[in-house]
Chains A and B, each alone.
Chain A
Amino acid sequence: MKPVNIAFDNVLKASPEAFLKSWIEEVAHSGEGSSGSNARVAQNEARELLSALQDAVRDGADLTQFGSDAWSKTRAVLAELSQSRAAQGASAGETSYFVMAIKKPLFAGLQQLISIDPQQVFDTVWAASTLVDKMAQWTATTYQRSREQVIKRQQQELLELSTPVVKLWEGVLAAPMIGTLDSSRTQLVMESLLQRIVETGSELAIIDITGVPTVDTLVAQHLLKTVTAIRLMGADCIISGIRPQIAQTIVQLGIDLQGITTKATLADALSLAMKRSGWVVSRAIG
């Protein structure tokens, strides 16, 4: 092993419990740390990280090459750590500080065990510091990635929740659109609407755009694509909820609705849909 590695290993194995204690204390003291039951989790994470570090150092890993294969286990442990912190909603600062706090016991240990050779001391401290910084950087990056995945998943769920497809009557489905109609949202509505049409064998779908604030050429294009797909499959579509301003915009922009039936209200659309399907509604007197 290189002298730097030997020194490192000596520090890590000298008194592990004291090392861990000092580490956790440093995390807690900084004010960034967690408390209570989280402390136990932190202990275990620290222990696992320490063990991974020891293995890597003993295998002769180069302390200045954190990206190399020799550190892959350590990287994996750090990734898991940041992933669980991200899921719990811990901040990026807390998560990376957890890693950086190892410098306290590390440097203290190095100071004690190293010979009075200034060059050796400097080399080892420099290598240790670089390593810990790289570890913290790696943790921050994986934390970021995990957060992005969480946000993406939440966005998806929100999108799905806000585009329900309901069965209004035998053979009639309704898809109320709420909010701005962008391409990804329209895609989602299109897919779920088409799927439900097949599942229920409904020949009529009413797309209600009461909740859509503006309709421009792009939105109209998205709607037209949806209607074309519905017709291709053998069903038909009515667009309802067209507010007066939207009607004006459609005419002003010269948007061609290509023979799609449109109605001002969902009620009108339902009435038409039922008539088309051969239903007659009568009211009992008395």
Chain B
Amino acid sequence: MTLTSEPEGPTGVIAIGVESDIVTSRQMVRKLTRQLMFTLVDQTKMITAASELSRNTLVYGGGGEMRWEIIERDHQMGLRLAFEDHGPGIADIKLALTDGWSSGAGMGMGLSGSRRLVNEFDLRTAQGEGTCVTITRWKA
């Protein structure tokens, strides 16, 4: 998927099926946060969180999609991202949200870290059905 220079609409979807889609998701989130004029630090935080979560979707969830939505609340603009897969689901949520935990090799699923990078974090998972992580960042 190639990104155009046209501004993005209020909602959209990106498939996360192959490794290059992780880069695409980063690029899309960069475009959206720039469009919303987030500060550089806030852009970086959101893009990094998106990178972590889309990788999770691919590596642990067997593939899925990233949906985005530009939202407004009390005259404040924000960006909501949802990462959904239909993979095995997370068996122990509490464990997964602990710093440094991982079901495989490496530094962890990045869930707890990503949570700190955003304003709102929602995790929905069911064993054998899949996982959906929704994150929201409001414009300062």
Chain A contacts to B: CB under 8 angstroms: 145, 187, 191
Of all chain B residues, the one with the shortest Cβ separation from A195 is B40
**Contact status B41-A191, CB under 8 Å:** yes
Cβ of B75: which chain A residues have Cβ within 8 Å of it?
Answer: 145
| Distance in Å: Cβ of B13 to nearest Cβ of chain A | 30
A187–B39 Cα distance when bound, in Å, is 12
A233–B76 Cα distance when bound, in Å, is 33
Of all chain B residues, the one with the shortest Cβ separation from A187 is B41
| Distance in Å: Cβ of A212 to nearest Cβ of chain B | 23
Chain A, interface SS category: helix
Cβ of B41: which chain A residues have Cβ within 8 Å of it?
Answer: 187, 191
Return the CB mask of B71-92 against A: 1 if under 8 Å, else 0: 0000100000000000000000
Chain B contacts to A: CB under 8 angstroms: 41, 75
Of all chain A residues, the one with the shortest Cβ separation from B40 is A191
A187–B41 Cα distance when bound, in Å, is 10
Q: List 3 A-B contacts (CB under 8 A).
A: A145-B75, A187-B41, A191-B41
Cβ of A145: which chain B residues have Cβ within 8 Å of it?
Answer: 75
A187–B75 Cα distance when bound, in Å, is 23
Cβ of A187: which chain B residues have Cβ within 8 Å of it?
Answer: 41
Of all chain B residues, the one with the shortest Cβ separation from A149 is B75
| Distance in Å: Cβ of A260 to nearest Cβ of chain B | 21
| Distance in Å: Cβ of A35 to nearest Cβ of chain B | 33
A115–B107 Cα distance when bound, in Å, is 82
A187–B42 Cα distance when bound, in Å, is 11
| Distance in Å: Cβ of A138 to nearest Cβ of chain B | 14
A191–B45 Cα distance when bound, in Å, is 13
A145–B41 Cα distance when bound, in Å, is 26
The 3 lowest CB-CB distance pairs between A and B, nearest first, are A145-B75, A191-B41, A187-B41
A145–B75 Cα distance when bound, in Å, is 9
A283–B53 Cα distance when bound, in Å, is 59
A191–B41 Cα distance when bound, in Å, is 8
| Distance in Å: Cβ of B46 to nearest Cβ of chain A | 15
Of all chain B residues, the one with the shortest Cβ separation from A194 is B41
| Distance in Å: Cβ of A149 to nearest Cβ of chain B | 9
A81–B41 Cα distance when bound, in Å, is 35
A259–B75 Cα distance when bound, in Å, is 44
Of all chain B residues, the one with the shortest Cβ separation from A191 is B41
| Distance in Å: Cβ of A120 to nearest Cβ of chain B | 40
| Distance in Å: Cβ of A208 to nearest Cβ of chain B | 23
Of all chain A residues, the one with the shortest Cβ separation from B41 is A191
| Distance in Å: Cβ of B101 to nearest Cβ of chain A | 21
Cβ of A191: which chain B residues have Cβ within 8 Å of it?
Answer: 41
A271–B91 Cα distance when bound, in Å, is 55
| Distance in Å: Cβ of B108 to nearest Cβ of chain A | 18
| Distance in Å: Cβ of B137 to nearest Cβ of chain A | 14
Of all chain A residues, the one with the shortest Cβ separation from B75 is A145
A111–B75 Cα distance when bound, in Å, is 41
A122–B40 Cα distance when bound, in Å, is 58
A43–B91 Cα distance when bound, in Å, is 69
| Distance in Å: Cβ of B133 to nearest Cβ of chain A | 24
A238–B9 Cα distance when bound, in Å, is 47
A109–B44 Cα distance when bound, in Å, is 60
| Distance in Å: Cβ of B76 to nearest Cβ of chain A | 11
A114–B75 Cα distance when bound, in Å, is 42
A187–B45 Cα distance when bound, in Å, is 13
A191–B75 Cα distance when bound, in Å, is 26
A145–B76 Cα distance when bound, in Å, is 11
